[in-house]
Amino acid sequence: MGIKAVFKTYFGKLPKGTDDVNRTGAAAYALTAREALAQYAVTGTFNDTYYAGGGEQLEEVIKRAAEVEPEFLAKLAIYAAEKGHMKDMPVMLLAILSSLESDAFSRAFPRVVKSGKMMRGFVQVMRSGVTGRKSLGTRPKKMVQAWLESRTVPQLLNAMVGNDPSLRDVIRMVHPKPKDAARAAFYAWALGKPYDVSALPEEVAAFEAFKRDTSRPLPGVPFQMLTSLQMTAQQWAEIALTGSWQMVRQNLNTFARNGVFEIEGMTQKLARRIADPEEIRRSRVLPYQLMVAWENTSELVPQEIGDALQQAMEIAVASVPQFEGNVVVCPDVSGSMSSPVTGFLGTATSKVRCVEIAALVSAAFLRRNRSTRVLPFEVEVVPVSLDPSESIMANAAKLAAVCGGGTNCSAPLRQLADEKARVDLVVMVSDNQSWVDAGQKGSVSAVMAEWSRIKRHNPSARLVCLDIQPYATTSARGESVLNVGGFSDSVFEMIALFASGRSNPDAWVQRIESIEL
């Protein structure tokens, strides 16, 4: 009988042993160059994280980029910008591309650099020297020139918001050739040089007139260009009512400081606008962005606005699919998840931590799939009582309040396996740096060992490892395992396809490779 216990039959394909170590030194599975780049592209911000410095991220991206063809880099830059809603990583990939002998750079540039912020970010990366040169070079210079000439005046005015470099710096660097007298006057005005007043675009002329007399109608320029002027609360209210939905979300504290909510009826008007389903869908706001707004609202912002943000969250998570079968979500609530989700950035560090993103994903699943089982874990599974009828923000706050301890990604899987639970989909949201359950390199990881036990009773079950930090290893690999990163709408779409059996473990990279240049 003893020999049967030791040499019991294993049903199914034997999992592969680990071939790398993670950031804690524990055995793990290495991601391929494509997988690692995809992970960095949607989670990397080049800021310090709990386990790695921003410089290490940069070195890893440059190293991995040399292992793939230019076309993949171009597609990855597009994916990171369009699907991942990232800012720094896409322009970094473009900068790497610009030095390669391929037309992929020219084909990707217009799809990545769609805003002034992205354009200035690209120039900043190029002149930093991190890709081996401190000048733009011929091809990048031509692309920036073409970008400037193809923008409307309002788009160029939006590009003036921000420095290092400023739009003025960019114009000086690339010397665009104006297509008409109005554009020539605009460039001269932006550079602080003499210009033809009669040729000045209408928006700029109105701005110059407003600077002389602030009782005039507000000009059609970004409000950041007006903040040095003495404006009334009524004028700030007009900005709040006429600006974009995203701008309102990002500047609630600014409006509060400038007396907007003290004007009768303004709180109700802005609350209705923030919770407007059509505006929310049109703005394509991410649940994460709403959490940032909710977390950052000061005590000067009325409670009604906070309630509106919670209503907006309920609408925004409509992108989370509904799943058939038994769904389990396992948010990592260990100590490393206390790291800011976008990394440490001095006084500009985000208040939103990785644990809050994991909690938000879990609460969103629970809201859309009322029978979802949530198993928060650190060294062991942490019991937390959640109510599917409560708001997403409330449930997320409950989960996020439990943060501390070591990282043991196999803990929730072990509990499910011990219970012989019926499972169809398990989603683990983590920084994936498990170490409490570490074994020897070359052995099967504890996560895969427990997952194999689950698969014996649930042969069609699927495991999704959703990573929200930029590292290049994972705790799980196999035919029933999807490794994916980030926290945008596209992640939920990928999970839905994988859970339904309509995609395979390589689906994420394949989705990137399917982009047409």
Q: How far apart are CA 423 and CA 412, in angstroms?
A: 12
Distance from C-alpha of 236 to C-alpha of 233, rounded to nearest angstrom: 5
User: How would DSSP label each residue in 83-124?
Assistant: TS--SHHHHHHHHHHHTSSSTHHHHHHHHH--SHHHHHHHHH
Whether the pLDDT of residue 101 is over 90: the answer is no
> What is the rounded distance in angstroms from the CA atom of residue 240 to the CA atom of residue 228?
17
Residue 16's pLDDT band, with cuts at 50, 70 and 90, is confident
Model confidence at 55, pLDDT cuts 50, 70, 90, reads: confident
* 308 contact partners, CB below 8 Å, separation of at least 6: 270, 271, 272, 274, 275
Statement: residue 12 has pLDDT above 60: no
| 395-441: pLDDT as tens digits | 998 999 999 999 999 999 999 999 999 999 999 999 999 999 988 88
Q: What ranges in 275-388 are assigned the alpha helix state H?
A: 277-283, 287-296, 303-316, 354-368
Dihedrals φ, ψ of 483, to 5°? Answer: -100, 125
For the chain, the structural domain boundaries read: 2-27+322-513, 69-221, 222-319
Mean predicted lDDT score pLDDT of the chain: 91
Q: Tell me what pLDDT residue 348 has.
A: 67
**So what's the pLDDT on residue 3?**
44
Give CA angle at 464 (459, 465), nearest 5°: 135
Residues 6+ apart with CB under 8 A from 501: 460, 462
Whether residue 5 has pLDDT greater than 80: no
The correct CATH number of 2-27+322-513 out of 3.40.50.2000, 3.40.50.410, 3.90.79.10, 1.10.240.10 is 3.40.50.410
Is the pLDDT at 352 greater than 50, yes or no? yes
pLDDT at res. 9 = 44
Residues 6+ apart with CB under 8 A from 276: 245
Which range is least confidently modeled, 87-96, 194-203, 345-354, 386-395?
A: 345-354
* pLDDT class of 458 with cuts at 50, 70, 90: very high
The pLDDT confidence band at residue 14, using thresholds 50, 70 and 90, is low
Length of the chain: 517
For residue 13, the model assigns a pLDDT of 60
The pLDDT, as a whole number, for residue 287 is: 86
Give the tens place of pLDDT for each residue, 459-468: 999 999 999 8
- All residues at 6 or more sequence positions from 105 whose CB lies less than 8 Å from its CB, including other chains: 70, 74, 94, 97, 98, 139, 140, 143
Scanning the structure block, which residue is given the tokens 């070079």? 137
Full-prediction pTM beyond 0.75? yes
| Of 48-52, 275-279, 281-285, 359-363, the least confident | 48-52
Q: Judge whether residue 194 has pLDDT over 70.
A: yes
Instruction: Kindly report, residue by residue over 390-403, the tens digit of the pLDDT.
Output: 988 899 989 999 99
Average pLDDT estimate for 91-107: 94
Q: How far apart are CA 60 and CA 58, in angstroms?
A: 5
Nearest-angstrom CA–CA distance, 170 and 162: 12
151 pLDDT band (50/70/90 cuts)?
very high
Q: What is the pLDDT of residue 6?
A: 39
Structure confidence at residue 10 (pLDDT): 43
10 Å Cβ neighbour count for 515?
18
Q: What angle do CA 313, 315, 321 make, to 5 degrees?
A: 105
Q: With pLDDT > 70 as the criterion, what percentage of the chain qualifies?
A: 97
Looking at residue 72, what is its pLDDT? 97
Q: Which residue has the higher pLDDT, 350 or 266?
A: 266
Give 370-375's long-range contacts (Cβ < 8 A, gap of 24+): 371/326, 371/327, 372/327, 372/328, 372/329, 373/326, 373/327, 373/328, 373/329, 374/328, 374/329, 374/330, 374/331, 374/399, 375/328, 375/329, 375/330, 375/412, 375/415, 375/416
Q: In this predicted structure, what is the pLDDT of residue 441? A: 86
Per-residue pLDDT tens for 61-85?
999 999 999 999 999 999 999 998 8
Residue 7 has pLDDT above 90, yes or no: no
Higher pLDDT, 11 or 168: 168
Q: What is the pLDDT of residue 216?
A: 95
Q: Is the separation of the CB atoms in 282 and 245 below 8 Å?
A: yes
Decide the pairing of beta strands 373-374 and 27-30: unpaired
Peptide bond into 459 cis (omega under 30): no
The answer, yes or no, to whether residue 254 has pLDDT greater than 70, is yes
